[in-house]
Copies of this chain bind each other. A is one copy, B any other.
Amino acid sequence: MGEVVFIGLGLYDEEDITLKGLREARSCDLLFAEFYTSALMGTNIDKLEKNIGKKIKILKREEVEKGDVLFEEAKSRKVGFLVPGDPMQATTHIELRLRAIDLGIKTRIIHGTSIITAASGLLGLQAYKFGRIITIPFKEKGYHPISPYQNLLSNRKAGLHTLILLDVKEEGRYMTANEGIEYLLDLEKREGGKVFTENTILCALARVGSSGPLIKAGKAGNLVKEDFGKPLHCLVVPGKLHFMEKEALIKIAKAPQSIE
């Protein structure tokens, strides 16, 4: 009987896999990977293959969603499925796992580092004061969902911090922090709810997991004009700040002294 091991590659480059993940990957008969739910910007497939010592077949979104390539092999062999971050943070991974279970294929998860805890940690914001995570999608003709704005409002009302993840497209298009801020400012103009104005203090993070992640706090109206460099980017909108969190944002993220 075969097996699919979902292995988290972590945040940024080929060194962000755990020792356990590396050992498991090396023991697999066959390795697949996907880089459309997120991406490892500090490495490439050659480096990943060299690090593990095995060939890796990258699956496209369509192939992951169909699943048949992976399941066919996993019926009788140990198959590793490498994914950025921690596995199962994307719905498509959960779906794949459930279908494997239906086919009688054993599944296991080897955890990886994730932006969900890394972002709060880098900023010095307390993990248990975060509300619901928001994802901002690329605007497409007529598609400009208001739900990110509404969820941000709920978190703010409750005094909670909000991690905002930014859309990633399979063809290698990564939403910038600037585009994310613009998206919310546009909704603010339309809704007028004073949820996210040019004066809202927020934090932009870039290249989390690298040796030099960029971390910057400031007003939305200022940050939207800055250049945060290469992807991936994400945003954090602070809620009610404890004095130590305020200190952290000032000292670590160069927030203005006046934040509250």
Q: How many residues of A contact B (CB 8 A)?
A: 61
How many of these chains are in the complex? 2
Q: Which residues from 130 to 152 on chain A have a C-beta closer than 8 Å to any C-beta of chain B?
A: 130-135
Q: Chain A, 50-89, contact with B by CB distance < 8 Å: what is the 0/1 string?
A: 0100000000000000000000000000000000011111
In the bound complex, do residue B86 and residue A109 qualify as a contact, i.e. CB atoms below 8 Å apart? no
In the bound complex, do residue A132 and residue B160 qualify as a contact, i.e. CB atoms below 8 Å apart? yes
Whether A16 is near chain B, meaning CB under 8 Å from some CB there, is yes
Q: Determine the chain B residues whose CB is within 8 A of the CB of A129 once the complex forms.
A: 132
In the bound complex, do residue A23 and residue B18 qualify as a contact, i.e. CB atoms below 8 Å apart? no
| Known contacts A18-B17, A113-B113: A121-B251 contact under CB 8 Å | no
In the bound complex, do residue A244 and residue B134 qualify as a contact, i.e. CB atoms below 8 Å apart? no
A109 to B121, CA, bound (A): 8
A135 to B88, CA, bound (A): 23
29 contacts between A and B (CB under 8 A): A15-B19, A15-B20, A17-B18, A17-B19, A19-B51, A85-B117, A86-B113, A88-B120, A88-B122, A88-B127, A89-B117, A97-B252, A98-B124, A98-B247, A98-B251, A101-B251, A101-B252, A102-B251, A108-B211, A109-B121, A109-B122, A111-B209, A116-B117, A116-B127, A117-B117, A127-B133, A128-B132, A128-B135, A154-B158
